[in-house]
Amino acid sequence: MKLFTSIFLLLFSLSLVSYAKQETINIIPRPASLIVQKGHFNLTAQTPISISESFDAKFKGYVQEKIKNDLGFTCMIGQGNTSPLVNAIIFEQTNDPSLGDEGYSLVITPSSITGKANTYAGIFNAFQTLRQIIPANALKLKEQQIKLPCLTILDKPRFEWRGLLLDHSRHFQPKEFILKQLDEISAYKVNKFHWHLTDDQGWRVEIKKYPNLIAKGAWRADRRGIHWWSREFAKPDEPKPIGGFYSQDDIKEIVEYARVRNIEIIPEIDLPGHSKALKAAYPYLSCRQDLLFEVSTGGRSPNNTICAGRESTYEFIDGVIEEIAQLFPSKYIHVGGDECNKNDWTVCSECNKRLKENHLGNFEELQSYFITRINHQVTQRGKTMIGWDEIMSGKGTPGAIIMAWRRNRYSPEVDAPRAGYKTIQASYTESYINNHQGPAYLEPEAPRGIIPLKKVYQYEPIPSVLTEKEASLIMGTQVCLWGEFTPNPEISELMLYPRVLANAEVGWTKPELKDWKKFEVAIEDNFKRLERDKINYSKSTYNPLITFVPDTISKTAIVEIKPDIDLYNLRYSVDGTDPTPHSKKYKKAILANFNTDIKAALFTKKGELQGSIVTQRIEVIKKKK
């Protein structure tokens, strides 16, 4: 083991020097060690591929599919081929402790390409790296062979959790959309899909014991064309045509598709708040038997918390957890626990009785009692419970994993590991990619925040104030695409890409090897891959952000123009005309008068416009009384 470790460290140190020699090899996420050697391997349609029999049998079909997708030809694949192979690609199982569960080695020589890993996950990752070494435009090349540079890669992830959350409660998306995203994110070694399946606006998973969950809970009244936060509540007799659900057969298909792509699907059933759809389907779960409930149409959802006092609530949830545990082979079940409005609990005789009988000091402790009961149901099925950071309130939930999303007034990213919880970082200030990526007026509707590609990339999941022991409890990170403003697959993809790729490198690559300038080059190369795979990605990274600080006395403002990408010339104008390649080059903050239109854009050295021309009027907007 010491020998393996020494070799790994030697290659790692050499890679810091060799990276400067391989600017044309653009791999996302960036490998731990990459050493380029002289020579090339000639990849042709006749190149045989050998896959160890110890790897999943479905890997063969997956490799064939992707070679066809990336290169346009069908390759010859055998398993466990013992005869000598010439000009071959070989995937072998090894026993190298330094590689861990997901690491791999990839060696390209003039005569062979050899990938080695301890596990299926590792060999899958090796293949994804090989796919990115193949030129992104290989399909368009007319050559009969593709020259791949000789190199040696030793690689393994920084974190075990490299995830993406998709919210399909707010807006249901078809099964085909999910399969497409699983296929794409796996190419960048994302290995966790956190699936937000229930909320106020829809229950999306079939539970056979409780058929009303999809018969009523999956459908809502039509409020399309009305702003999400201005929608009126549904009426009982109103048609409910909007929604959908995933059958258990759908889920089994999706889970298996993900498994082949080394992705673990973690279901989320959001409790005890965010449960308006659940209460609409089964009203007896509510504290308020005097109210009628309909699936929320959007916006605010008052009275959306289920009763924590009645024993029938826990019996119901146990039935749900039983089927969820059987449907999803993941070792995790996410139970939400966030934003629990306790107003109904305070006036509920059953909740107050439960609080008194269990000697609970307040309703925060009633929430931790509730979550602890659910945690027991989860662990009984051999699973580990995950919850949003609010489950630390009251007496907390020992043994659970915390997904830390809140920031500013709260600090769960520090508090959770300090309290001994394993923690997944999902910061709403850096990782909520439902926010705009660039200037809001150029983008689809979204919350008011702006989280550009560079900000996602520069996020550091381990707070510097943590001790080494506390930091070891950080499992990793994920980006979250909440569904309020993603009504269809096209907009969803636009918000996902390329920011998912930035977070993939955050989760995989050690901080000392991350390099924004090199990532900028790599992301442009991978834009070609996204286009090949028919992904509707955003080009907002080419749109500069213009911000200003006004001085109402002098009626001037200090203006800053911040490009998200630094590869191009940033030009601007202050006279209302569109900037050209010959306009002033932005170097530092400028002073501008009120009622001036500042315009900015990025240009290549050849004078080609990249992205859009961005306009910002310098004025003070008076607040409405």
Distance CA 521, CA 499 (A): 15
Tokens of 198: 């229930």
Which residue, 104, 131, 109, is CA-closest to 119? 104
How far apart CA 470 and CA 480 sit, in angstroms, is 24
Catalytic site includes residue 65? no
Indicate the Cα dihedral angle 468, 331, 404, 298, nearest 10°.
170
Nearest alpha carbon to residue 303 among 329, 280, 321: 280
Q: Which residue in the list 168, 196, 274, 334 is annotated as catalytic? A: 274
Query: Please, are residues 594 and 618 in contact by the beta-carbon 8 Å criterion?
Result: yes
234 forms beta bridges with none
Pairing mode, if any, of strands 145-155 and 104-108? antiparallel
Q: Is 350 a catalytic residue?
A: no
Sign of dihedral through CA atoms 552, 556, 561, 562? negative
Nearest to 574 by CA among 554, 550, 591, 552: 591
Neighbour count for residue 125 (Cβ, 10 Å): 28
Q: Which residue has the tokens 């997901």?
A: 102
What is the distance, to the nearest Å, from the Cα of residue 209 to the centroid of all Cα atoms in its chain?
A: 31
Whole-angstrom Cα distance, residue 492 to residue 489?
5
Residues 50, 82 contacting (CB under 8 angstroms):
no
Asked about 274 being catalytic, the answer comes back as yes
Contact 583, 607 (CB under 8 A): no
Q: Nearest 5°: CA angle at 612, between 445 and 165?
A: 40
DSSP state string for 219-261: EE---TTS-GGGPPPPPTTS---EE--B-HHHHHHHHHHHHHT
Strands 401-404 and 422-425 turn out to be parallel
> Catalytic one among 96, 199, 270, 470?
199
Q: Which two tokens stand for residue 139?
A: 């399909």
d(CA 150, CA 21): 13
Three-state SS letters, 123-151: HHHHHHHHHHHCCCCHHHCCCCEEEEEEE
Q: At residue 228, what are phi and psi to the nearest 5 degrees?
A: -50, -40
Structural element, H or E, at residue 10: helix 2-18
The string of DSSP letters for 441-499 reads GGS-S--S-B--HHHHHT--SS-TTS-HHHHTTEEEEEEEE-STT--SHHHHHHHHTTH
Read off the amino acid at residue 471.
A
- Element (DSSP H or E) covering residue 316: helix 311-327
Q: In what order do the strands lie in the sheet with 556-562?
A: 545-551, 556-562, 590-593
Choice among 53, 222, 238, 339 that is catalytic: 339
DSSP state of 604: -
Active site residues: 199, 274, 339
